[in-house]
Homo-oligomer: A and B are copies of this chain.
């Protein structure tokens, strides 16, 4: 028998049990958010691992840093889901008794062993959340959704407009938002069950998340009302902000979104008079963010001139002194080796020893609750690490029965 990887005491969701049958980013991230709040999140995987078990980045020996990163603090049950008995055990786990249990998070189609109606026959108050590609259940991933909602055509250098170039994002933003919304949906449904005893099936389509966000940001209204958003390279739309290089070659972003932020930039660089002059010449009120956007090229030249005459040390000192809003562009390597926030000095981080990977820095929950200490970050399980203990705990499977299940090839040895 394995010893449990995680200690189920403590945290906002202590006592809550969630079964997760999921791959890639959105649903596993939603599940991990719950796990990092103290829920007992038990993944069910097929023997040998699911669709994302070898997703890159991987180590030299093909352990997925992606899979490990998204499944921290969970338990793992591995079953042969091709066998009726494997599917039967999976359904029994999903619907096992327990006051704050009976919660299923998945991004697989709700049929077969994930059929909500069949599962409900075994546990009437089941809460199931199904993440879908499109709202009809069709196939879609973050990158195909992103192409549809217009973002690649407004990303990147202005020169790309002439060639109709599209720039994909590398951060799967839609997956990330969907994962957190999945956690929102489960918590809202669980709140309802606490009050009424009723479960339900919640559906959440990646496509709808992206469409809603572009609506909420005003992009749908803007396009519908006849304006065509242009691409503006690294310039922040509607205010002042872009990248600048210091005299010693460091790249920084400087943002003047609010008036206070803008005044801090002018103060740090001694630009107040020059900006006043520009406002008078152009008839723009540069205290307004929109007018700063209109004058962004001229303002950019002023800031650029100052930046090229100052080293990074000088520029950062001056900007920090005025409380400006700015940041250095860092490579991931610089982030990991030079940024104090990405180190054990930040209480969100711990060093974990991940089987197949080794010791490395890993993040816990960004939410910092005053009512609970942050839970320690636990490594991802090895595949099937907790099969025996979970079958014993949830289904009362004895060691003899477990041995027979192993013999029948339903679980790994």
Contact = CB atoms under 8 A, between A and B. Distances in A.
A362 interface: yes
Interface string A360-402: 1111111111110000000000000000000000000000000
B33 A361 contact: no
A278 B153 CA distance: 33
B191 A191 contact: yes
Contacts of A51: 257-258
Contacts of A25: 217
Given A59-B225, A173-B176, A366 B37 contact: no
Given A147-B253, A253-B144, A332 B211 contact: no
Contact of A361 (B167, B224, B236, B237): B224
A184 B183 contact: yes
Contacts of A370: 200-203
Given A147-B252, A149-B335, A56 B237 contact: yes
A211 B363 contact: yes
A156 interface: yes
A85 interface: no
Contacts of A151: 170-171
A317 interface: no
A74 to B, nearest CB: 12
Interface string A46-57: 000001001111
B289 A55 contact: yes
A286 interface: no
Interface stretch (A101-109, A302-310, A338-346): A338-346
A194 B191 contact: yes
A158 to B, nearest CB: 12
Q: Give the interface size class of chain A.
A: 35 or more
A312 interface: no
Nearest to A66: B218
Interface stretch (A88-96, A266-274, A323-331, A404-412): A323-331
B363 A220 contact: yes
A6 interface: no
A364 B212 contact: yes
A117 to B, nearest CB: 11
A293 B345 CA distance: 36
B323 A139 contact: yes
Contacts of A176: 173, 176-177, 213
A155 B181 contact: no
Nearest to A201: B370
Contacts of A181: 33, 180, 366-367
A325 B145 CA distance: 10
A109 to B, nearest CB: 12
A362 B220 contact: yes
A243 B148 CA distance: 12
Contacts of A154: 170, 332
Contact of A57 (B148, B157, B227, B242): B227
Contacts of A209: 366
B236 A164 contact: no
Nearest to A362: B215
Most buried by B among A32, A218, A289: A218
Contact of A180 (B32, B184, B228, B242): B184
A176 B313 CA distance: 32
A69 B327 CA distance: 28
* Those 9 A-B pairs whose CB atoms lie nearest each other, nearest first: A56-B238, A65-B218, A180-B180, A144-B327, A215-B363, A173-B173, A150-B332, A223-B332, A212-B363
